[in-house]
Chain A
């Protein structure tokens, strides 16, 4: 987890997204303070099994629709790889991944 607060207000959920029955994991891929665009962000479940993958946006943002529980978010990029663990709850769970 990054020590900088993920600016959730910049990660606006799509209109109509339910946050009462989904566990949404979202955050940024960061290289130091800089967002990393185009990183391959992989969601691994509690056993390390691959669950999903997205590409970070131009602002380094990513989002997964998961379920409550333990997850690992791993990012691959040209500047390096990194990962972070997160305990997801219903609603939005913020998590940033540091690479490099």
Chain B
């Protein structure tokens, strides 16, 4: 993959809002953001109520994903262009999620909603009326998703990249500072993990930093070993997974969506605190 294949600019997005075969999808941490205004023609996906199983802590299954995308009017051949607020955290999460279920052509708007709004581009409140499709998903590509036991086994053996803020990594905070401090049972990080905050990969306006800057940022990630990225609930680490896999073209990078809310509540696993 490359930046050209996986990212589009806000200019490109504005010029392609009504291009047949291109579907814009907004995914936000604030699931009400779409309702206040969105890109013309964009559909909304709620990461919490639509992408998560309502009972178990896991994703909806393949059939559930097929039903969801069919109902949204998205077909297998469509180019799905994702964007969202908060520096594309949840749009990057959705990008990873769509990739997990094998969607072939997914892109992210560089800078997401923030860049779009700072550019002063138009938002609308009309919701599109897309015709239902018959979407066919693939089985989950487990080569990009890490589960609990694999993460524990990776301590000291694989690259573990903790992408949270330094204060969450050290154990000073449990959660990002715009959220109430409630989450896992314990604060800290997985032993042997390195702290490369996701935010270092982004400019102030939410766009990704240049290839040269990103290459420098992850220079310590040993390409001869597999890499697992994690954060608190797997959305910021999707942002880093996107950088490592889609922009820098690294292989064998997984996202641990259970992340700290799971690991930090496990009984018996090692935890480190401090920088």
Contacts and interface: CB of A to CB of B under 8 A. Distances in A.
B179 A65 contact: yes
Residue from A40, A45, A76 with most neighbouring chain B CB atoms (10 Å): A40
Interface of B: 30, 85-87, 114, 117-118, 120, 165-167, 172-173, 175-181, 197, 199-200, 204-205
Contacts of B85: 55
B118 to A, nearest CB: 6
Interface in A60-95: 63-67, 76-78
A63 B177 CA distance: 9
Interface in A37-66: 38, 40, 42-43, 45, 47, 49-55, 63-66
Interface in A1-44: 14, 17, 21-22, 38, 40, 42-43
A38 B254 CA distance: 34
B204 to A, nearest CB: 7
Contacts, number: 60
A14 B182 CA distance: 14
Contacts of A40: 114, 118
Decide if the interface of chain B is mainly helix, strand, loop or mixed. Answer: loop
A22 B173 CA distance: 10
B176 A52 contact: yes
A53 B172 contact: no
Given A40-B114, A78-B117, A78-B120, A45 B180 contact: no
Given A49-B199, A78-B118, A78-B120, A43 B178 contact: yes
